[in-house]
Amino acid sequence: MTGVQQAFEQWLNAWRTVADPGQWVKLTEQTNQAASAFAANAGKPVMPGLGALPFPGLGGLTNGLAAAFPTIANMPQMPDITKMNGLAEFAKLASSMPGFGAAMQGLPTLPKIPTAAIAPERLHQLQSDYTRDVTELLKQASEQNIDAAALKDRRFKDTAWQATPAFAFTAAWYLLNARYLQELADAIQSDPKTRERIRFTVQQWAAMAAPSNFLALNPEAQKALIESKGESLRQGMLNLLGDMQRGKISQSDESGFKVGKNIATTEGAVVYENELVQLIQYKPLAPKVHARPLLIVPPCINKFYILDLSPEGSLVRHALESGQQVFILSWRNADQSIAHKTWDDYVQQGVIETMAVVKDISGADKINTLGFCIGGTMLATALAVEKARGNEPAASMTLLTSMLDFSDTGVLDVFVDEAHVQMREQAIGGKNGAPAGLMRGIEFANTFSYLRPNDLVWNYVVDNYLKGRTPQAFDLLFWNSDSTNLPGPMSVWYLRNTYLENKLREPGALTVCGQAIDLTTLDLPTFIYGSREDHIVPWKSAYASAPILSGPQTFVLGASGHIAGVINPPSKNKRNFWMLDNANGRLPDDPDAWFEAASEHPGSWWPTWTQWLAANAGEQVKPAASFGSKAYPVIEPAPGRYVMERDS
């Protein structure tokens, strides 16, 4: 919460001198004066040091423009990455962003960044390009004719940014310097992890410092303030205070949804539960069903209903309509009573026990299985445990945006190192006799949002706080805000053994549930899906599961990101996907070789998957007349109690 308050206090300081609508008469006069001052003050530019770049204001460039924006001194300055004395300073800077401080804990103990970070010839080229671009921009400013092409960024698409030369220059100056900062970060010569951390931090600051994020510099927000006679600012402050109490920025109007009423409405019943999960069995939607049922293991860091958002966008319903018997896990939102639970507990109680229940209820010899994100990691681990025990409960496995090989974890790698994991082990993992704690779901939600800061953070700051608007009701973002806590021991085991040490891919390197894990023994048919623009599970990391597994494999690459690529129903007729049209069951080891040979297909990948699944699902039979069985009677209707427990 401290990070939220610090960042929002910066915005509030910038607003205080402009909250009175009477200030706009004075501001207009100053803006007109500044426009005239451009011609007088625009000389040959001297390239500033990064620490001196006047983000998001212009105080260090010309006196005339500084006068037009009296509150610039209160706004955050961009970091000087040429003078950073190690990643500790990046962590300190990042901690001032809302919800970001907890994610950056542990970074202060990292080694220093090398002094000679950028090759001299590359730095000289960047400086030359920067001076050329600034000269051109100042020339345009002196003529009060900023090139509209320089403002193509969607944050500045409104005509209000071009209507006044000062605002147009503010936006163009910001975009020029943000681009320069990013190019400098890209040019740093260091190990990949350090370079990625620098890029990430620069990205966060560039996103935070945009003039569109500040009332004093945003003509759209100023217009809303004047037209509403101050009501937009009042409502924006109320939205801000409400979000500060919640600890996260509102992305959707949550009053528009109620789980079990207009979201997660597919008919079913809870037929089994334990401390960690409820097992939901759905009502068949086809006159005949395949004899082997499908068990879905969703990610435990979110609620299961991402796969059952609405009837038209439900993967669950699509599978039911294609003749599958469908069961799904609903993970419990962990509280202190189960804070001691481990990865072994989640694998045994969450996955292995429920596979046995599904087999018992259906009477099938084997079941089909699907794991989504971390659910796929747990599913593959559970099947490897069972294999080591001499059991083979699954006829097939589907992995959706899941990782078994954590060599490349994308941008999430910036958060994980030995110091960070040790800190978490001590704080919540029960290390050295300390009490176990919880990994809060809100930390995951905030971290994932900052992977796409302009889309999932600052656009909501502008709309909710500066313009005083209420977010639209959007089912996917409602789900995204419905986060789930995890037990500390379970989460830190996952961090250390996958993201940090990448041991899951190594035969015999890990022991889970008393068994040495060897994923290479899994020889069942496997359908692997990756999303091409996934920032959480890079598609090549999803593909990296293929060389580890031994059975026949199908890989499909969908368009879009981690969630939108998966939730792509055929009825929408959107996007596209790639696959090998003449696969022989084994995939090339090289993902680029696979992509070169793959064919592009329009629309949803779901029908391709259900066709593949049907081939492994056995004969078609008459569906059961009721839920559960004598041994596993109905406990309550779907979606059950566990999904209703919200993070507090």
Closest CA to 324 of 283, 277, 279: 283
Say whether 400 sits in a helix, a strand or coil. strand
At 546, the amino acid letter reads: A
CB 429 within 8 A of CB 489: yes
* 245/250 Cα distance (integer angstroms): 11
Helix or strand (DSSP H, E) at 83:
none
> How many residues in the chain?
648
Task: Tell the residue number behind the tokens 């041994």, with chain if given.
Answer: 631
Question: With helix as H, strand as E and coil as C, how does 197-217 read?
Answer: HHHHHHHHHHHHCCHHHCHHH
Catalytic residue among 289, 316, 373, 379: 373
At 549, the amino acid letter reads: L
Classify residue 585 by burial, with Cβ atoms within 10 Å: 0-12, 13-18, 19+: exposed
Closest CA to 250 of 463, 7, 448, 441: 463
Number of helices followed by number of strands (H, E) in the chain: 24, 17
* 446/415 Cα distance (integer angstroms): 13
User: How far from chain centre, in Å, is Cα 524?
Assistant: 31
Closest CA to 62 of 159, 134, 128: 134
373 catalytically annotated: yes
User: How many angstroms separate the Cα of 521 from the Cα of each of 76, 349, 387?
Assistant: 54, 22, 7
CB 605 within 8 A of CB 554: no
Letter string b/e over residues 487-521, b meaning 16 or more CB atoms within 10 A of that residue's CB: bbbbbbbbbbbbbbebebbeeeebebbebebbbee
DSSP line for 264-314 = S---EEEEEE-SSEEEEEEPP-SSSEESS-EEEE--TTB-GGGGGSSGGG-
CA 286-292-298 angle, to 5 degrees, is 85
End-to-end alpha carbon distance in the chain: 13
* 620/283 Cα distance (integer angstroms): 16
CB 608 within 8 A of CB 269: no
User: How many angstroms separate the Cα of 620 from the Cα of each of 334, 452, 612?
Assistant: 39, 45, 15
Closest CA to 86 of 208, 200, 199, 198: 198
Say whether 325 sits in a helix, a strand or coil. coil
* 318/108 Cα distance (integer angstroms): 48
* 545/377 Cα distance (integer angstroms): 10
Q: Which residues are catalytic?
A: 373
